[in-house]
Amino acid sequence: MKLLTTLQIRGLDKRTVEEENISPIDLMERAATALANAITHMFQQPRTFKIFAGPGNNGGDALAVARLLTGHGHKLEVYLFNPKGHLSDDCQTNAERLLDYPEIQFTEVTSHFAPVPLLKSDIVIDGLFGSGLSKALDGGFAAVVKYINASPAMVISIDVPSGLMCEDNSYNIGENIIKADTTLTLQLPKLAFFFPENQKYLGEWFCLDIRLSQQGLDEAVSKYYVTNMDLVRPMLKTRNEFSHKGTYGHALLIAGSYGMAGSSVLAARSCMRSGVGLLTVHAPKCNNSILQTAIPEAMVHHDEHEHHFAMPLNTQIYNAVAIGPGIGQHEDTENALHEQLETSISPIILDADALNILANNKTWLPLVPKHSILTPHPKEMERLIGHCANGYERLIRAQELAERMQVNIILKGAWTAVITSDGVCRFNPTGNPGMGTAGSGDVLTGVLLALMAQGYSPENAAIIGTYIHGAAGDLAAEEKGENGMIASDIIEKLPLVWKQLKKNDYLCSNKELKCY
């Protein structure tokens, strides 16, 4: 799924009208019908709806929705805010159409608004402002937003919560943004939906298909996408009947230190569960017995140091290399990583302490081989790029770093951002809060390592690996619950995800199905 800017969506609306030879009000009616159908699906018993409409096209949508909700036994109260005495053409048309529906209580507010009671049983439909907003709300509209937010009523926002801008909200005023329980967005999600600071405004969001120009959407240029099964499935390689362990690559995992053997075990187990042919774990001698017992399928190569990584390796015999889980930040380890980077030619996977060491030695960043994969969580990312005010800034700066270093960055979190070396970002829909547990990142490293060893490009490995990792986490959450999950549960579900995805019967997490 491609994500577009506000201006691009506006252009897509215009193109749809031209291609289908319809009027803008007809497209608004199509959007309102999709919205009304979704709301009717959500509330099949009669409820009281209090609809707050602004003077623009978002308000026009809200007015049309009110009209389309008649006939279902609902009580409908509409408040149209028109303080400047001017409505958009389509909003004006829908306001006039409401006059033919006496069962709808319709009030146009031109100056003073006497607050109406908003009860816990009420459903507020927020159609004050949509995707066209370019500055923070203030004055009377800000007061209306605060009044709605202070009420116990459930709030459904049309397209975007009023006050929220569709991309960058760095200079917005949070208290002047509607806090919706549900957001019904039109055609495509907005970039702002994928940042943690905006979740409190969106609530749960759903995409409604209003059949905008497919050709226009295909031709639009974007650096932002949401990954789905249709992208991942064609990337998967088939396994040949006459293949053997050498066919599927020899991976090297440099991981673990004294007291951190678990990181190497988790990464190694997930690597073996993701189709690799051979795996060698380079680890300090103190972790030998743990590794040989916990993951007998893997070979163990001993570091010269008893307790930590201190000996760079010749990696030419390996098809893929990952460094970082649990290695610590000892001075010997820093020196070994520096030498390893200096001698590496092929892309490598850098995770956990490898990233922290790089963050402490930023002059080493040019040594990272092009097309490598870096897997930071937000704090690790900020150690590399500096403090960021919000998720939007963090993403933009991560994209800049990926392009400058010519690497792939997997910025972990809800809607993990897979950023390729061309700066293109693909948000991953799989995964859940239960994966916020120790070792989950080590599991991802193992999956990525297995894919690269099997000959997947680093870019494809990052997209597929992140998707598979999250999908396994979703299956683990279904069985264990989010609170009870541990990283090993994710590993145990990897075989089922691989199996179902290749059989074309795997259904992704609810995030990917967020549409009516």
Spatial CA neighbour of 471 closest among 455, 454, 491: 491
The string of pLDDT tens digits covering residues 388-419 is 999 999 999 999 999 999 999 999 999 999 99
CA 115/CA 433 separation, integer angstroms:
38
What pLDDT sits at residue 510? 46
Backbone angles phi, psi at 450, to 5 degrees: -60, -45
Q: From the CB of residue 436, how many other CB atoms can be counted at a distance below 10 Å?
A: 15
Q: Evaluate if residue 15 carries a pLDDT over 80.
A: yes
pLDDT bin (cut points 50, 70, 90) of residue 513 is: very low
Tokens of 273: 């569960």
229-236+245-508 folds as UDP-N-acetylmuramoyl-L-alanine:D-glutamate ligase (3.40.1190)
User: Given a cut of 90, is residue 473 above it in pLDDT?
Assistant: yes
- Selecting from 3.40.50.10260, 3.60.20.10, 3.40.50.2020, 3.90.1640.30, what CATH number does the domain 6-221 have? 3.40.50.10260
pLDDT at residue 503, as a whole number: 80
Q: Give span(s): CATH 3.40.50.10260, the chain.
A: 6-221
Report, as an integer, the average pLDDT of 464-492: 98
List the alpha helices (DSSP H) in 5-153. 6-20, 24-42, 57-68, 89-98, 139-150
Percent of the chain with pLDDT over 70: 97
Q: Is pLDDT at 512 greater than 90 in this prediction?
A: no
> What integer is the mean pLDDT of 428-433?
97
Which residue did the predictor score with more confidence, 111 or 493? 493
Res. 511: pLDDT tops 70 = no
- Percentage of the chain modeled with pLDDT above 90: 95
Q: What is the pTM of this model?
A: 0.95
**In which band, very low, low, confident or very high, does the pLDDT at 103 lie, cut at 50, 70 and 90?**
very high
pLDDT in tens, 230-249: 999 999 999 999 999 999 99
pLDDT at 480 over 90: yes
Residues of the chain with CATH 3.40.1190.20: 229-236+245-508
Q: Residue 505 has what pLDDT?
A: 58
DSSP type of residue 267:
H
d(Cα 335, Cα 341) in Å, to the nearest integer? Answer: 10
Q: Closest Cα to residue 250, out of 311, 315, 295?
A: 315
